[in-house]
Structure 1
């Protein structure tokens, strides 16, 4: 994938959400490093950022875990271009397993492209979305399908939750012990359709980006599922992490009002 010129004021910002959960912003999207650098140089990467950003991600890993930083696996919340953009470049350096939900497989083995975007959704970014890559990538040789029981083989203590709607195989990661959530694009903390909000990263909880979401009822159900978990902190795909009352109150409101506030008029 060619490098995309979009960026934001938080590009390159890293936030230690927990000692073993680190959120790093790549232009307009967040990736997560799971692993405690005080205990080991090994880590798991969640999502793979924007196209042609692999060098920045590798450098961020070294800054976090040291020069001997060792990626053990990559877990994908889904396969949209801003979440897999650097994946092939990373795999040339880190030849590791890539875990994803079985329903996301066609978009990761070269078989299928994502549907065309909804350019009629409100906002300039939605109008621009026809220019965004939506073709499948092929990482078949590294791809591993996650078990049906919700476990993550390389990440004990965490489980994945199938949160479809934005894509058929979208997943979120949850740790019951401390109620930490990596939500991907199941919900986000910026109004992703509007260019000014993307550039400034104005905090505002929303459902998944409207232009690429394929099933709105499923997306609403996924938000309800995550709300019922009562997470205490969340790393989201777009926007700053959320925690405590700010997260629980706003996520409950989103789950309640989703039909009125999030679904584009031409999809109701």
Structure 2
């Protein structure tokens, strides 16, 4: 895993699959997503490298239930006074009470998903994690000057994005992605492709300088323009 500074308060934790992000306030840290199972040790090392203690993590925001985003969550949640946040529609899956729905794959996505699965590293099963706050659209979280929750369903039923309006930062989870060539695209493997498109269009309306994706390199400047361009390229499903 690589630790990359995107701004003085924001660091990108680059994993082979399922990136995470650390936001730093004066009174503690917020972690957005937690990687595959087994990722918590690398996240802890990143926190210490940045001059903090694991107990400084105050918020853990889970953008959706997929294993490459919630895999390290149970361990991170045990580090101290950590509030675990997720949308209420994702709660049954994150808590281990129900299996999450499979994607409604487009024809071109089927071979891509097979290649992704073949390249996934072996990992332990996901340990269910408690949820301290079940989120709804428009909720505001106590970090980053007021982190606004956007319900952006489509990739999963309860996918969320997190927008820091005062900082011009957007965390998209897997609702938006960026290819290896740098193109911003609609996230793939969606349970409801039409709603996923609508969710991308909603995020493209935001005033954003930095966009942080679950897959692909983050954008560190002029993100709004590139999000709008991505939305314009996509026909309605």
TM-score (norm 2): 0.85
- Written as runs of structure 1 = structure 2, the 5 A alignment for 1:112-261 is 112-117=98-103, 118=105, 120-122=107-109, 124-128=111-115, 138-140=128-130, 142-146=131-135, 149-153=138-142, 156-190=145-179, 201-210=180-189, 213-245=190-222, 247-259=223-235
Identify which range, 89-98 or 49-58, moves more after superposition: 89-98
1:61 CA displacement: 0.9
Aligned to 2:91: 105
CA distance in 2, matches of 1:175, 1:116: 30
CA distance in 1, matches of 2:137, 2:227: 26
CA distance in 1, matches of 2:100, 2:11: 29
CA distance in 1, matches of 2:99, 2:116: 15
Counterpart secondary structure, 2:140: coil
Superposed CA deviations along residues 163-209 of structure 1, whole A, max 9, x for unmatched, are 1110111111112123211111110112xxxxxxxxxx442211112
1:157 CA displacement: 2.0
Q: Is the 8 A contact 1:108 1:138 kept in 2?
A: yes
Counterpart secondary structure, 1:138: coil
Identify which range, 124-133 or 163-172, moves more after superposition: 124-133
Deviating 4+ runs (over 4 angstroms): 128-133, 153-156
1:53 equivalent in alignment to 2:53: no
Taking a change above 3 Å as real, the CA distance of residues 177 and 66 of structure 1, as seen in their structure-2 partners, is: closer
Q: Is the 8 A contact 1:205 1:251 kept in 2?
A: yes
Unaligned runs of 5+ in 2: none
Aligned to 1:43: 29
Superposed CA deviations along residues 103-126 of structure 1, whole A, max 9, x for unmatched, are 111111222212234385446541
Unaligned runs of 5+ in 1: 1-11, 191-200, 261-267
Aligned to 2:63: 77
CA distance in 1, matches of 2:132, 2:58: 14
CA distance in 2, matches of 1:55, 1:119: 36
Q: Is the 8 A contact 1:62 1:69 kept in 2?
A: no
CA distance in 2, matches of 1:68, 1:57: 9
CA distance in 1, matches of 2:216, 2:165: 23
1:51 CA displacement: 1.6
Number of residue pairs the alignment of both structures matches? 232
Structure number with the higher strand fraction is: 2
Q: Is the 8 A contact 2:84 2:133 kept in 1?
A: yes
Aligned-residue RMSD, C-alpha: 2.6
Q: Is the 8 A contact 1:165 1:216 kept in 2?
A: yes
Identify which range, 63-72 or 103-112, moves more after superposition: 63-72
TM-score (norm 1): 0.76
CA distance in 2, matches of 1:68, 1:160: 24
Counterpart secondary structure, 1:29: coil
Aligned to 1:194: none
